[in-house]
């Protein structure tokens, strides 16, 4: 038994070394390579845009519920557990959907690290502001009516909106869409001048992003936006030419449907066995067609050479004359 232990230890050492090699190989792969190897996902860019739109609609619904609560019950000194449960459920769902949308976008779209970082930071900032509005951050000094806070929030939100141009920078439609969204978000500064709290600017942001995600979903559906994603494969298009083919064809005649009856099948078989080929030439002003047969007889070249010979007719005439005399 003592002699077999070194063999087992050698095997175990080999296994451990192999495991270490696989681990180091996995660690050496960059994040981009790992995402590329995963191939296609179960979700698409359309899902990201759809979730982003629904999330921002829920943000607006949440703020509406809060306004109803503040101006109807809180003013009278009353509280409602139902209103609070509904408001927090809507807010949590909105943040969850928005986070899923950004995570999916991060795992689908190649590169664009700055845009992804800004989107994730934007969600974190919105969470902190919402918690501050509900006085759930006692250790952090927070004032929802602070004009500098609202201005900084609006400028940061506009920068996040402008980063979305990285999806397709050369597309004019995306440029216009990002520009409109950014202008709407920058209009949130007017809420600070009017004396509203910071969640008023969040409401304006939600309106801008609803427009953006809805329009982007439409553009993606119409395939008017090209965004390179992980797992995509380049489309290869082949352009065939019949210019130097043996039988040049201008326009191919569409194939007839396969007959179902026995007589029709017999006619179709006879047509396929025939050597006649039909070509159709089309022109802008007139259309015409003609038919010709394929001649596989190689003796035509000999006949043509014989006819072109200068003494051919004289020999034929002489032969004819001799035959006549005979």
Whether the pLDDT of residue 260 is over 80: the answer is: no
Whether 268 and 217 share a structural domain? no
Whether 268 and 167 share a structural domain? no
Whether 213 and 95 share a structural domain? yes
Q: Report residue 87's pLDDT band, with 50, 70 and 90 as the boundaries.
A: confident
Lowest mean pLDDT among 31-40, 67-76, 128-137, 242-251: 242-251
Whether the pLDDT of residue 194 is over 90: the answer is: no
Mean pLDDT across the chain, nearest whole number?
Answer: 75
Query: How confident is the model over 50-57, as a mean pLDDT?
Result: 94
Residue 126 belongs to some domain of the structure: yes
Q: What is the count of structural domains for the chain?
A: 2
Whether the pLDDT of residue 212 is over 70: the answer is: yes
4-18, 83-97, 302-316, range with greatest mean pLDDT: 83-97
Whether 197 and 266 share a structural domain? no
Whether the pLDDT of residue 100 is over 80: the answer is: yes
Q: Report residue 151's pLDDT band, with 50, 70 and 90 as the boundaries.
A: very high
Whether 149 and 278 share a structural domain? no
Whether the pLDDT of residue 215 is over 60: the answer is: yes
Q: How many CB atoms sit inside 10 A of residue 77's CB?
A: 6
Structural tokens at position 71: 């101006």
188 alpha-carbon distance from chain centroid: 32
Q: Report residue 231's pLDDT band, with 50, 70 and 90 as the boundaries.
A: low
Whether 267 and 321 share a structural domain? yes
Residue 245 belongs to some domain of the structure: no
Domain end (from 202, 221, 240): 221
Query: How confident is the model over 110-135, as a mean pLDDT?
Result: 89
pLDDT, position 20 = 65
Q: Show Cβ contacts of residue 29 under 8 Å, excluding neighbours closer than 6 positions.
A: 37
d(CA 95, CA 75): 28
Whether the pLDDT of residue 236 is over 60: the answer is: no
Whether the pLDDT of residue 32 is over 50: the answer is: yes
Q: Is 220 helix (H, G, I), strand (E, B) or coil?
A: helix
Domain end (from 221, 250, 279): 221
Residue 163 belongs to some domain of the structure: yes
Residue 30 belongs to some domain of the structure: no
Whether the pLDDT of residue 200 is over 90: the answer is: no
Whether 82 and 197 share a structural domain? yes
Residue 253 belongs to some domain of the structure: no
Whether 217 and 277 share a structural domain? no
Whether 67 and 202 share a structural domain? yes
Q: Which domain holds residue 288?
A: 262-325
Residue 249 belongs to some domain of the structure: no
Instruction: Spell 177-196 as b/e; 16+ CB within 10 A means b.
Output: bbeebbebbbebbebbeeeb
pLDDT, position 159 = 95
Whether the pLDDT of residue 201 is over 80: the answer is: yes
pLDDT, position 311 = 55
Query: How confident is the model over 87-106, as a mean pLDDT?
Result: 92
- From residue 35, alpha-carbon distances to 41, 107, 194, 318 in Å are 10, 7, 47, 90
Lowest mean pLDDT among 179-183, 194-198, 270-274, 278-282: 278-282
The residues with which 293 forms a beta bridge, in sequence order, are 276
Residue 248 belongs to some domain of the structure: no
**pTM attached to this predicted model:** 0.61
Domain end (from 191, 206, 221): 221
296 alpha-carbon distance from chain centroid: 52
Q: Report residue 177's pLDDT band, with 50, 70 and 90 as the boundaries.
A: very high
Lowest mean pLDDT among 48-52, 138-142, 162-166: 138-142
pLDDT, position 213 = 95
Whether 73 and 214 share a structural domain? yes
Whether the pLDDT of residue 51 is over 90: the answer is: yes
Whether 208 and 270 share a structural domain? no
DSSP 61-93: HHHHHHHHHHHHTGGGT---HHHHHHHHHHHHH
Residue 1 belongs to some domain of the structure: no
78-87, 164-173, 227-236, range with greatest mean pLDDT: 164-173
The strand pair at 276-282 and 287-293 is best described as: antiparallel
Whether 184 and 272 share a structural domain? no
pLDDT, position 86 = 87
């Amino acid at each position: 038994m003592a002699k077999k232990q070194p063999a087992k230890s050698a095997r175990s050492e080999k296994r451990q070394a192999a495991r270490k090699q696989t681990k180091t190989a996995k660690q050496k792969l960059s994040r981009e390579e790992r995402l590329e190897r995963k191939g296609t996902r179960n979700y698409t860019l359309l899902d990201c845009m759809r979730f982003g739109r629904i999330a921002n609609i829920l943000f607006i619904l949440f703020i509406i519920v809060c306004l109803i609560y503040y101006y109807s019950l809180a003013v009278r000194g009353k509280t409602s557990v139902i209103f609070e449960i509904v408001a927090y459920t809507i807010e949590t769902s909105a943040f969850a959907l928005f986070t899923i949308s950004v995570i999916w976008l991060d795992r689908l779209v190649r590169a664009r690290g700055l845009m992804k970082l800004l989107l994730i930071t934007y969600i974190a900032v919105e969470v902190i502001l919402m918690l501050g509005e509900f006085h759930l951050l006692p250790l952090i000094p927070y004032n929802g009516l602070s004009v500098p806070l609202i201005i900084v929030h609006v400028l940061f939100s506009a920068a996040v909106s402008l980063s979305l141009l990285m999806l397709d920078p050369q597309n004019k439609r995306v440029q216009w869409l990002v520009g409109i969204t950014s202008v709407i978000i920058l209009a949130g500064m007017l809420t600070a001048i009017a004396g509203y709290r910071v969640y008023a600017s969040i409401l304006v942001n939600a309106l801008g992003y609803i427009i953006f995600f809805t329009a982007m979903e439409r553009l993606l559906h119409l395939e008017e936006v090209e965004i390179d994603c992980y797992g995509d494969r380049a489309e290869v298009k082949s352009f065939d030419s019949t210019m130097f083919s043996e039988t040049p064809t201008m326009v191919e005649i569409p194939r007839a449907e396969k007959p179902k009856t026995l007589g029709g099948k017999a006619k179709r078989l006879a047509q396929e066995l025939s050597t006649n080929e039909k070509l159709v030439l089309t022109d802008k002003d007139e259309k015409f067609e003609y038919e010709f047969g394929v001649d596989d007889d190689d003796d035509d070249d000999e006949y043509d050479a014989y006819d072109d010979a200068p003494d051919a007719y004289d020999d034929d005439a002489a032969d004819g004359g001799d035959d006549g005399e005979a």
